[in-house]
């Protein structure tokens, strides 16, 4: 039976709560209501109010409580109802949780779940991709799974990690993506990218929901005789630069794709790494496809124009092939 991306995250949470009594959840409406997106449905009934904790509408309080609990030996999983509102807890994440290991070798084993991304007509306050705010913060780990398999495996690894992990789950994938998962327990390592489609002519590097856009574009390009390799980063911090560079060495052309806005996005960091490490292998310029530097529009036609899609990727890839 196929498991959705949403159900995979729930399964990962459930298994870790069964495995370790120190794991608990906290967030807005995650208890009896089951969460805004129903990711935590059923967990309150199974584990009770002491381990599935409904909180006030205060992300700062949620993050602060999670950090305190983690310092006392628990393993909290804090939910931001929408990733956009993580800003209310930003100071505590980047100026405290991220620095405890460096300052006094203190473990802060907490996970912050952040439903992110557009394509659901949520407007500028419910559709952002704020991962890069945290990728530049030493001491944090940042993951962004694209598949149900990786969503389950990475949430389990994040909970077991002894440092703070930001877990970005794309809302548009929750019920759209599904696959058969192994019946036996498994985890996915943090910090390791994955080649999800082999190719020889061009590499597309991406993560999150854009993995599916990249695969769609690769299918279209294959019909035109082009062999496209797709690399799913899976983890943004620490970044698996080696897998990216090895793919670029093989194909000699690279297109960097992300849903986040352009300036200061992951593509810029990747482009610098590629130029520093494998410049001599490149047969063309490094190309970026991203959202423009604007807030996420609420209007459905404007949001469609704002978001990267397979058509935009194919257009840029054709240009790069002709270069």
Catalytic residues: 126
Residue with token string 């794309």: 170
Whole-angstrom CA distances from 162 to 23, 104, 158 are: 12, 14, 8
Whole-angstrom CA distances from 42 to 7, 25, 48, 200 are: 11, 13, 10, 46
d(CA 291, CA 178): 26
Residue 190 structure tokens: 């943090």
Look at residues 281, 127, 147 and name the one whose alpha carbon lies nearest to residue 209: 147
Check: CB of residue 47 under 8 Å from CB of residue 188.
no
Cα angle vertex 124, ends 120, 127, to 5°?
40
Q: Which H helix or E strand runs over 15?
A: helix 5-19
Question: If you ran DSSP here, which 8-state letter would residue 81 be given?
Answer: S
d(CA 159, CA 85): 21
Residue 9 structure tokens: 């995250």
Strand pairing class (23-27; 52-54): parallel
Q: Looking at 85-237, which runs of residues are DSSP E strands?
A: 111-116, 141-143, 165-170, 178-179, 194-197, 202-206, 228-232, 235-237
């Amino acid at each position: 039976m196929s498991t959705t991306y949403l159900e995979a995250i729930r399964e990962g949470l459930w298994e870790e709560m069964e495995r370790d009594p120190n794991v608990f959840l906290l967030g807005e409406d995650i208890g009896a209501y089951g969460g805004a997106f129903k990711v935590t449905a059923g967990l309150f009934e199974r584990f009770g109010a002491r381990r599935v904790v409904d909180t006030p509408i205060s992300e700062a309080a949620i993050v602060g409580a999670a950090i305190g609990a983690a310092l006392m030996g628990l393993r909290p999983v804090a939910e931001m109802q929408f990733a956009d509102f993580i800003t209310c807890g930003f100071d505590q994440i980047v100026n405290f949780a991220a620095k405890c290991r460096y300052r006094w070798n203190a473990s802060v084993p907490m996970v912050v779940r952040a439903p992110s991304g557009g394509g659901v007509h949520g407007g500028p306050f419910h559709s952002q991709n704020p991962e890069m705010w945290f990728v530049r913060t030493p001491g944090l780990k940042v993951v962004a799974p694209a598949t149900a398999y990786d969503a389950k495996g990475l949430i389990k690894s994040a909970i077991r990690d002894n440092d703070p992990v930001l877990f970005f789950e794309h809302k548009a994938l929750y019920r759209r993506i599904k696959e058969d998962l192994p019946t036996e327990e498994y985890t996915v390592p943090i910090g390791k990218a994955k080649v999800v489609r082999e190719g020889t002519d061009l590499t597309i590097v991406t993560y999150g929901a854009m993995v599916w856009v990249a695969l769609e574009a690769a299918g279209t390009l294959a019909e035109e005789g082009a062999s496209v390799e797709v690399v799913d980063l899976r983890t943004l911090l620490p970044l698996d630069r080696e897998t990216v560079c090895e793919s670029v060495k093989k194909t000699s052309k690279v297109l960097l794709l992300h849903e986040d806005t352009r300036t200061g996005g992951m593509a810029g960091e990747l482009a610098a790494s590629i130029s520093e490490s494998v410049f001599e292998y490149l047969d063309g310029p490094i190309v970026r496809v991203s959202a423009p530097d604007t807030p996420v529009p609420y209007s459905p036609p404007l949001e469609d124009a704002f978001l990267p899609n397979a058509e935009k990727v194919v257009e840029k890839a054709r240009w790069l092939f002709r270069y």
